[in-house]
Chain A
Amino acid sequence: MNFGASRLLSGLTVLLALVLGWELLSHIVTAKGSYDEPLIPGWDYLIGNSLLRMSDYWGGGFGVPAPSEGGPPTYAAALLALGQASLVTFERVGLGTVFGVLGGIGLGLLVASSDAARRLIAPTVHIIRMTPFLAMIPLFNLWFGANTFGIILFVAYGIAVIMFIGTINAVRNVPKVYLERAATVGANRATIFRHVVLPAIFPEIRASFLLSFGLSWSLVVGGELLGAQSGLGVIVTYALQFAYTGRVMIIAFLFVIYAGLSFALFDAVSRRIIIWHPQVEKKPVAAQARRRSVRGTRPAGGISQ
């Protein structure tokens, strides 16, 4: 059995153990919450009740009647409701992350390249960075409203702070010898910035983005929990009011899946950009591209001095 298959097998084993362990726990802990919902709902309850009742949030359309209009709860309505709420949340997390990344990197580069900008911007950002993100939600609510615009801004703000710090550190860590080499061949500041600083900082910026990847999803849920009218966070808010543990868990599962998929997507795409980086070599994606890059030549190890 090769390495990849054995890794997949052990992963599936762990997953199966978790699923079975949860089921076991639900039979041991049978306590119920205030609205007669089990605190640890088993799988039959999660799928037969919690998931099905997600159809409560379906407003009708696509030929699937909404239970609020008198129809029975259906899985079709439940999945449509989850899909609709997911799309709303995707828009917020996606736009917020993009704006946050661009804003944070832009501000970081500005501060790193200009003394005046550093004196103006850096102290403010360092104060903001000490403020807990969640403590700022009410403020964003009051300023911009508990709507899509306000939540996008909130996500962008949180991501921008992280990316700002990451960018400043990355610029500081660019080896001096690269800058000196560029200077000795006559490069001006703009050329050095474009051909040396930007490529040199990319791996570190990518790393800080990957490390804080779950943050976007946390921020969007935080933003939606307080007063939004749509999105996955709203379902959690309602579920919390009626102690629907199962529904909270279903949304939590969704977030795990979404965060994992978006992480994998970004990792795969950004890995291609830093194909040159020594640490990328071991990964299969990089190895394929490497073979392409030296096609028609002998492998590097075989070239003698």
Chain B
Amino acid sequence: MNPRQAILSVSDIGVRFVRADGSPVVALNGVSLNVLPGEFVCILGRSGHGKTTLLNVIAGLLGAQRGEVRVMNLPVTRPGTDRGVIFQQDAVFPWMRVVDNVAFGLRVRNVPKEERLRIAREHLALVSLSSVARAWPRELSGGMRARVAIAAVFANDPPILLADEPFGALDYVTRRQVQAVLRDLWHRTGKTVLFVTHDVDEAMMLGTRVIVVNNGRIAEDRPIELPMPRSDDDVATPAGLALKHLLLHHMGLE
């Protein structure tokens, strides 16, 4: 792949932490990665193997000791509006009504009130939450709050979207529904997505490409050549099952 075409390029990232007792932990060790515009990249791996660290470095929330992240050929040093983030924990502000939560990023950028409310309402409609625009977040279920988070990040219209196990706390059925919402929006907008997950099935359902992070290194990086939009039947084909076995193997199973 030609790095010049990449919207996002990560080169030789190294991150070390120091434990409370003073012993060092290597979270990422020489991770390099180029992402093309429009890709849906799933970053797959077990807990504690560096997925979230990688995403935080790309988001600019965490500094790396070594290496460089470039977005559209500009080095990343801090968070920016070119990279929207859907967080692992619930980051919907409880003190703002749903519509104001979705409009928050636009408000930060001084978009006039009518304009930002119009955009926010449009995005709430896209995630089927128009009816609760004026509700408080505490009045919503976890699945609905996850959709608020999706609407909020798409309303800002960032070219790159970073998601850190955003649906990990949801039940299976709700998670499948919210996955479909995200996939449809990705399909509609053509944004570049990096999606961290520990769930092989989730990665195979969503991604056009999958990267396995194991022990702070990239253990596998390959396209998912299954039709899109994708159904359970597509994943349960011999090709799909073979890929699943390979991914699980790289994650350390068997």
Residues in chain A within 8 A of chain B (CB atoms): 175, 177-178, 180-187, 191, 195-196, 199-200, 202, 274-278, 281, 290, 293-294, 296-298, 300, 303, 305
Contact = CB atoms under 8 A, between A and B. Distances in A.
Contact of A294 (B90, B104, B135, B141): B135
Interface string B106-122: 01110000000000000
B93 A300 contact: no
A184 B58 CA distance: 11
B79 A180 contact: yes
15 contacts: A175-B89, A180-B87, A181-B93, A182-B108, A184-B80, A185-B108, A186-B81, A195-B107, A200-B93, A276-B94, A290-B139, A293-B134, A294-B135, A303-B132, A303-B144
> DSSP class of B's interface residues: helix, strand, loop or mixed?
loop
A305 B143 contact: yes
Interface string B24-43: 00000000000000000000
A184 B132 CA distance: 25
B81 A180 contact: no
For B81, B87, B91, B174, the residue with the greatest tally of chain A CB atoms inside 10 Å of its CB is B91
B168 to A, nearest CB: 14
Given A182-B108, A184-B61, A186-B109, A294 B132 contact: yes
A195 B79 CA distance: 18
A278 B91 contact: no
B131 A178 contact: no
A256 B121 CA distance: 50
B143 A185 contact: no
Q: For the side of the interface on B, what is the size category?
A: 35 or more
Contacts of B88: 177
A184 B131 contact: no
A296 B104 CA distance: 23
Interface in B151-194: 156, 173-174, 177
Given A184-B84, A196-B93, A298-B131, 4 more contacts: A200-B95, A277-B94, A297-B134, A305-B144
B4 to A, nearest CB: 26
A171 to B, nearest CB: 15
B81 A185 contact: yes
A294 B105 contact: no
B174 A177 contact: no
For A178, A202, A278, the residue with the greatest tally of chain B CB atoms inside 10 Å of its CB is A178
B220 to A, nearest CB: 28
Nearest to B80: A186
Contacts of B174: 305
